[in-house]
Amino acid sequence: MIARVPRTMAELLRGRADARPERTALSFWKDGGWTTWTWAALRERAESVAAGLAAAGICGGDNVLLVVPEVDLTVASLFGAWWLGAVPVPVGLPFRLTDERAFFESLRVTARRLDARALVTNRALAAFATKDESITILDAEDLVAAVPQSAPPRSRSPSAPAVIQ
């Protein structure tokens, strides 16, 4: 019997979380020590972020900018976007971020070019992102805390973009 190969990142996560929920999905350094997430924990966070994105009006196929420096919030945001069927667009912070407002203003141009519906960032950086109707600013910490809907991942065409870099 040939095992079914996951066609999307959401399918990969669901398959691993169903088959090996207590196995390690990833480990990362945080607050002076190693933190480990199981596949079940990663799925739970992805479901929470997906629920928060959906509550903000984000749908499958929507581009979502991610400016999240924390590893845990970045991973949860990536997999949450994939779980929803959205397309994450990770944006790195400049090594020396001297003018936060100018950086976020330049992101507005990027958001318009990509037709991005939302910008996910952390609380500290969100304070520098000016609000307007062109893009929804979302706090990654709030998204991770959203109540998951326990819905299966949205099916997307495997030929649809998984990420825009």
Per-residue confidence in pLDDT tens, the chain, 165 aa = 566 777 889 999 999 999 999 999 999 999 999 999 999 999 999 999 999 999 999 999 999 999 999 999 999 999 999 999 999 999 988 877 788 888 888 888 889 999 999 999 999 888 888 777 778 999 999 999 998 765 655 656 666 666 665
* pLDDT value, residue 165: 58
Give the separation between CA 125 and CA 60, rounded to whole angstroms. 26
Query: What CA–CA distance (Å, rounded) separates 161 from 93?
Result: 23
The answer to whether the beta carbons of residues 63 and 89 sit under 8 Å apart is: yes
Q: What is the pLDDT of residue 156?
A: 63
CA–CA distance, 153 with 13 (Å, rounded to integer):
9
pLDDT at 1: 57
| Full set of structural domains in the chain with CATH | 9-144 (3.40.50.980)
- For residue 151, list its beta bridge partners: none
In this predicted structure, what is the pLDDT of residue 94? Answer: 80
- Cα 94 to Cα 12, 71, 100, 103, 128, distances in angstroms: 31, 16, 10, 9, 15
DSSP string over 46-74: HHHHHHHHHHTT--TT-EEEEE--SHHHH
User: In the chain, count of helices (H) and strands (E)?
Assistant: 6, 6
